Structure 1
C-alpha cells in the first residue's frame, strides 16, 4: 500500500534528514516509526502526503507515485493525526469531525451523520460532545476527535504523528487500547511516528527503528526485542528488552501444564481418594463440558460428604488463551499465585507456572542475548497428570 524506493531528503544547508530509504507497508498493516528526536521519522511520514517533498527517490501509495498527484487531492484521501490534534477552535466537535467530507463535497446532513457515527466509534457520545467546542474537552477527548476526523472520509491510509503524546499515561493507555480496537475493525494502512519504544511495541505489526536518517532495523516487535540487528538497536530498545518481550509474546498451548482435576458432580469421597493416589494436594474443578469452575484442596475433601461442587473455591488467577506472557505474569503477581489458569472461552486448557513462563520467554531470545550461563534456581511447578 505504501512503498518507499531509495528516498532521500536533504536541505540546502547540508542537513540530510532521510538517507536512501526503502521499505514497504502492506495493506492493513500498522507500522510504527520509532527513534530519537531529529532522526527523520516525521520527515518520512510527511513525505507520504507531500507536506514535504523528497530530494530524490519515489514514494507510492496504492501503486501511484505521489509526486504526480495534486497535493490537496492526495491529502484528502489520507487521514492525518497529529499530537496537538489541530482542531479548529471556532467549530463544534461535530463540524470538526466532518471537515474532510465537507471539503470533498458531501451534503451537510450526510457529513454530520458520518461524523456522529465516528464520534460514537471512538467512544464519544455525539449527543453530548457533538455541540461542544475543542476547549470544552479534555486532552484525551480532543485526541479522540482528531482520530475521528482523520477517519471521516474513510481513507485507506492513516498517518499519525505522536498521536497520544500530549496526554497523561493513564489516558494514553486508554487511547492506545481504543485505537487497537478500532484498527482491529477497520484495518487501515497506518504509519505511526513515536519516540516511545513501549508504544511502538504495543501498537506496531512491524517497527522501523531509526538511527540518523536511516532505518537500523525493520521487523516485528518480537524480532526487534529478541534479536536486535545492531548494537544501536539493542541500546535503543533498552537493557530490559527481555521484559518488554513479554508484552509481544503470545501464550503457546505447548507451554501449558495439566494439573490434576476433579469434576463438579464427582462425590467428594471418590475425588479425595483418587487425588491422594496421584499425590495431589489440590486440583482444578471442571464441569462436564471442561469449563473451569474453580479449585479444591484435598484436605477440604477429606471426610467430607456431598460432591466436589460443595467444596470448590472460586478461581481468581486466570487469563484467556489469546493473552500475552506479560498479561499472564501480571495476573500471577496481582493474585500472588504460583500458577495461572489459561482458558479458551470458559474451557480450561491448562496452567502457566513461573517455570513455563521463563522457558517460553527464553525461546524468544537469541542465544547471544541469553548469554553463556544456563543455570537458574528451580521453581516448584504444579503437579501434572
Structure 2
C-alpha cells in the first residue's frame, strides 16, 4: 500500500533528513517509526501526504507515484492525526469530525451521520459530546475526536504523528488499547511515529527503528527486542529489552504445566499428591483450587471446600500480563484457559515456565525456527 524507493530528503543548508530510504508497508499493516528526535521519522511520514517533498526517489501509495497526484486531493484521501490534535476551536465536536466529508462533497446530513457513527466508535456518545466544543473536552477526549476525524472519509491510509504523546500515562495506555481494537476491526494501513519504544512495541505489526535518516532495522517487535540487528538498535531498545519482550510474547499451550485436577462433584480426596489441585466443573471449565491441607482435613464434596480462582488468563495473553497477574494476586502460578466462552482449563503457568517461554521465544527468533523447536539445553544462559 505504501512504498518508498530510494527516497532522500536534503534541505538547502545541507542537512540530510532522510537518506536513500527504501521500504514497504503492506495493506492493513501498522508500522511504527521509532527513533530519537531528529532522526527523520516524521519527515518520512510527511512525505506520504506531500507535506514534505523528497529531494530524490519516489513514494507510492496504492501503486501510484504520488508525485503526480494533486497534494490537496491526496491529503483528503489520507487520514492524519497529530499530537496537538488540531481541532477547530469554533466548531463543535460533530462539525470537526465531519470536516473532511464536507470537503469531499458529501451532503451535510450524511456527513453528520458518519461523524456520529465514528464518535460512537471511538467511545464518545454523539448525543453527549457532539455539540460540545474542543475546549470542553479533556486531552484524551480531544485525541479521540482527532482519530474519529481522520477516519471520517474512510481513508485506506492513516498517518499518526505522536498522537498520544500529549496525555498522561494512564490515558495514553487506554487510548492505545482503544486504537488497537479499532485497528483490529478496520485494518487501515498505518504509519505511526513515536519516540517511545514501548509504544512502538505494543502497537506495531512491525517496527522501523531509525538511526540518522536511515532505518537500522525493520522487523516484528519480538525480533527487534530479541535479536537487535545492530549495536545501535540494541542500545536504543535498552538493556531491559527482555522485560519489554514480555509484552509481545504470548502464552502458548506448550508453556504450561499440568497440575493435579479434581472436579467439583468429586468426593473430597484425602491425598492430592501435591500441595494443591485445580478444581474444574463438569465441562472442564476452570472453577478454582483446593489445598492439600483442606482436602486432608475436610469431608464431603470438593465443591464444599474449593476456593475461587482469581489469577487466570486466556491462552495467547502476553507474558507481561501473566507476570502482572502473578504480582497482583501474589500468586505462585496462574491458570490458563482457552478463549472459548466456557473457558476450558489448559494448564498453569509458573514463574519458571514464564522464564523458559521468554528464553525459548528469543532463541526461536534468533534461529528463525518455531518456539516449540527450541531445546533450552542448547540455549546459552548468558
TM-score of the aligned structures, taking structure 1 as reference length: 0.93
Aligned to 1:103: 103
CA distance in 2, matches of 1:154, 1:322: 31
Aligned to 1:64: 64
CA distance in 1, matches of 2:201, 2:123: 24
The CA deviation at 1:336 is: 1.0
The CA deviation at 1:12 is: 1.1
CA distance in 2, matches of 1:292, 1:82: 45
Aligned to 2:203: 203
The CA deviation at 1:288 is: 1.5
Aligned to 1:285: 279
Between stretches 314-323 and 207-216, larger displacement belongs to 314-323
The CA deviation at 1:302 is: 2.4
CA distance in 2, matches of 1:229, 1:73: 39
The CA deviation at 1:366 is: 4.7
The CA deviation at 1:102 is: 0.3
User: Is this contact kept in 1: 2:4–2:60, CA < 8 A?
Assistant: yes
The CA deviation at 1:306 is: 2.0
Is residue 2:239 matched to residue 1:239?
yes
Residue aligned with 2:22, SS: strand
CA distance in 1, matches of 2:247, 2:78: 30
Q: Which runs of 5+ in 1 are unaligned?
A: 376-385
Aligned to 1:382: none
CA distance in 2, matches of 1:55, 1:17: 10
Offset from partner CA, 1:70-123 (integer Å, 9 cap, x none): 111111110000000011111110000000000000110100000000001001
The CA deviation at 1:303 is: 5.0
Aligned to 1:189: 189
For 1:242-321, list aligned pairs within 5 A: 242-268=242-268, 271-273=269-271, 275=272, 279-302=273-296, 304-321=298-315
Q: Which runs of 5+ in 2 are unaligned?
A: 367-375
User: Is this contact kept in 1: 2:290–2:306, CA < 8 A?
Assistant: yes
CA distance in 1, matches of 2:27, 2:380: 43
Aligned match for 2:362, one of 361, 365, 380: 365
TM-score of the aligned structures, taking structure 2 as reference length: 0.94
The CA deviation at 1:201 is: 0.4
Report the number of matched residues.
369
Aligned to 2:372: none
Residue aligned with 1:272, SS: coil
The CA deviation at 1:39 is: 0.5
Is residue 2:317 matched to residue 1:323?
yes
Residue aligned with 1:364, SS: helix
User: Is this contact kept in 1: 2:252–2:316, CA < 8 A?
Assistant: no
CA distance in 2, matches of 1:53, 1:272: 77
Change (3 A) 1:91 1:303: closer
Residue aligned with 2:232, SS: helix
Aligned to 1:381: none
The CA deviation at 1:289 is: 1.0
Residue aligned with 1:365, SS: helix
The CA deviation at 1:67 is: 0.5
Aligned to 1:12: 12
